[in-house]
Every structure is written in C-alpha cells, then in structure tokens.
Amino acid sequence: MTKRMLIMLGCVVLLIAALAGGFYLHIQKLIASSPKPGAQTITTIKVEALEWQPQLSAVGTVTAVRGVDVTTEIAGLVRQVNFKSGQDVKAGDLLVQLNDDSDVAQLHSLQAAAELAATVLTRDKAQFAAQAISQAQVDGDTADLKSKLALVEQQKATVEKKAIHAPFSGELGITTVNPGQYLNPGDKIVSLEKIDPIYIDFYVPQKQVAGLSLGQNIGLTNDAYEGVNFTGKITALNPKIDSATRNVQVEATLANPKHQLLPGMFANVKVDMGQKKRYLTLPQTAITYNPYGSTVFIAKPDDKKDGKKDDKGNPQLVAQQVFVTTGATRGDQVAILTGLEAGQQVVTSGQLKLKNGTPVVVDNTILPGNNPNPTPQEH
C-alpha cells in the first residue's frame, strides 16, 4: 500500500513539473514574440557658448521731467482761453486771461495818487530849499510817495496774476475750463508736462547697488509699442535706501522725441551689469526642474558592442540623463554653468517619454523657441 502511494505521488510531481515547464516555455515564447519599444522622436540642439551680457531687470514708472497742474492764484471770471487741449506751448505763453477790468481801474487810480505824491514831494523840496517848510514835511512827503508806489506795484502784481502763463515749455493736457467760468484759487485749469526727454524711475535691491553708476546704459520696453526698444542712461541714484524694502530708487533719462512714452506708464527696464561673458546656452524647454536638482537629456550614440544601427549604418542614438547647474535667464534661453560641454546634443522636447538608454530619433522640423528677446505673437 505504501509503495503504491509513493508511485502515485511521484506521478503527480512529474505532472506538475511538466505543466510548469510548459507554462514557462509559453511565457518565454510570448515575451520573445512581443513587439519591442521603438525609438522615441525628439528635438535636439547642439550646446554652444554664446556672448552673454549680465542684466538686471526691473519694472519702472515713466515720469515727466517737469509736470504740473496749472492753477490760478486768485479768483476771477475767465475772459479768454488761449490754448487748445493737447497743444505744445512755450514758457511764458498766455494760457488764460481772467477778467481784470476793476483791477486795472484800481491800478490807474493808485498810479494817479502816486503821481500826485511825487508832485507834492517835488514842490515841498523847493519850498524846503527856500526854508519855507520843515524837514519833517519833506520826510513825510517822501514816505507817502514810497507807500503809494508800493500800492501801485502791489496792484500791478494783482493784474498780472489775472493773466495765467505757461511756467515752462511742454505739452498741455485736456481742459474743461471755458470762457465765462468762475475760478477759485487753486482750481485746476490744465495739466502741463515736459516729456522730451523723460524720466523712468525704478527700484533695485540693495545688493545690486555696487553694480550701478551714473551714465550707465539702460534698455526699456513698453507693451504699448511691441518690438520697440528705448535706450537711456542712469542720471540719479537716491542716496537713501528704503528701510522697509531695502531697495534703492534709480532715475534714468531717455530721449522721447515722438512723445511715445507718457507719464504714468509702466515699463520693463534692463540695466547692463558688468562685462560681457560667454555661457553655454540652452532653451529653457530643455531643462527639467526637480526637487533634487535640474536635469537634461543628451542624445549620444549607443556605445554597447551589440548596439543597434540606424538606417544609415550609424550607431543608434540613445538618451542619457545628466544633472546641470543653471544660471541667469534671458528670454527663451538659460545659461548652463556646469554639467555639459560644448557640442553635445541636448533634447529640447519629448523628455517625458525618455529614460536612460531609451533609443531616440531626432526630428528638428519644428523647434522650441530659443530667442533671447522673444515677442508675443498672435495667430
């Protein structure tokens, strides 16, 4: 009985081994017949060293060299408006004439009184020479003449204030003042701005102050004029750092002959900092930023002895991931400080489907942007 059970157990073991062997051979056959992953299509760029001007970027505000709201110093009724909105005027041009009839009449009265006082003084001096009157009388006449002349000058100033002139040359804004309107002291008549040249005020961190100096070149762009670059020079540095932000105010002056830049506009400012350098440069799309570091994929020939060949008989390209250290950016480009060498082919798109050793095919029909000064395009 025992011998029979052993024989049956042996048969079962042999049957199980045969089934397992057959299943293993079947799996191997399926694996061998399964399609191999094909090469992934990517775009690449050859790493090269480019000249790089270190720059500081900031957002600034356009400010008029001179700007003021023209007002009246004294009250009066508008008799005449001698300008049009948006007109260019010269310093001293008459802008508004207030009604000054009563003031002019008062001036004439005071002038007549002053003339009479001068006549009296002349007559009394003659009488004093003849010892007909005292010195006190002559002194009183002299003081009276000076007082009346002072009243005349005061009234002249009042009359002159009724004529409102441009304090400096510039461009007028839009006015709502009309003839017949009554103005009180301080009422706005029109804005006057001198905008050629023009200022741009911006702030930079205190750690960048050492790289700033008077006469330093700046570049400026404004979204109102896409593709137009304005240039100017730094003309003033605030001697005091803002204690709240630790920033310093910088003022630059730019030529503005076409009056394109207007006070109140914001603008993007770039300041050249230091000497030009050369950096290995890549499009920003080539960089994969990770918590453990920045990486790129390079496309290199497969160095295995049994490596495959492409259609032209050249070694198949494969992907290899490498760590890099990135530096400053400009437009679509980023500077590479370490990790790459000039001449290497770096993957610029298609990285998500890659890992080390993945075969790749390069198709550079459509390339990602690589412009140091890109501009938005609408299609």
Residue 379 pLDDT? 42
Residue 31 pLDDT? 63
Closest among 40, 45, 58, 56 to 336, alpha carbons compared: 45
Distances (CA, A) of 326 to 118, 210, 211, 354: 88, 24, 22, 21
- If one counts every other C-beta atom within 10 angstroms of the C-beta of residue 31, the result is 8
Q: How far apart are CA 222 and CA 253, in angstroms?
A: 15
| Residue recorded with tokens 């960089």 | 287
Residue 316 pLDDT? 83
Q: How far apart are CA 194 and CA 65, in angstroms?
A: 6
Dihedrals φ, ψ of 158, to 5°?
-65, -40
CATH class entry, domain 40-52+277-362: mainly beta
Which ranges in the chain are annotated with CATH 1.10.287? 100-161
Given the candidates 3.40.50.1820, 2.60.40.10, 2.40.30.170, 3.20.20.70, the CATH classification of the domain at 56-65+191-272 is 2.40.30.170
pTM, entire model: 0.62
Which ranges in the chain are annotated with CATH 2.40.420.20? 40-52+277-362
Closest among 266, 234, 239 to 251, alpha carbons compared: 234
CATH fold of 100-161 reads Helix Hairpins (1.10.287)
* Rg (alpha carbons) of the chain, rounded to whole number: 44
pLDDT tens for the 379 residues of the chain, in order: 566 777 777 777 777 877 777 777 767 776 665 555 567 888 899 998 888 877 888 899 999 999 999 999 999 999 999 999 989 999 999 999 999 999 999 999 999 999 999 998 888 888 888 888 888 888 898 999 999 999 999 999 999 999 999 999 999 999 989 999 999 999 999 999 999 899 999 999 988 888 888 988 899 988 888 888 899 999 999 999 988 999 999 999 999 999 899 999 999 998 887 778 888 899 989 899 988 889 999 998 887 655 565 555 567 888 899 999 998 888 888 999 999 898 899 999 888 888 888 888 888 888 888 777 676 555 4
Q: Is 38 within 8 Å of 332 (Cβ atoms)?
A: no
253 CB-near residues (< 8 Å, 6+ apart): 65, 197, 198, 199, 200, 232, 233, 235
Closest among 303, 301, 346, 341 to 321, alpha carbons compared: 346
pLDDT, tens digit (0-9, with 9 covering 90-100), for 280-304: 899 989 899 988 889 999 998 887 6
Dihedrals φ, ψ of 221, to 5°?
-130, 150
Which ranges in the chain are annotated with CATH 2.40.30.170? 56-65+191-272
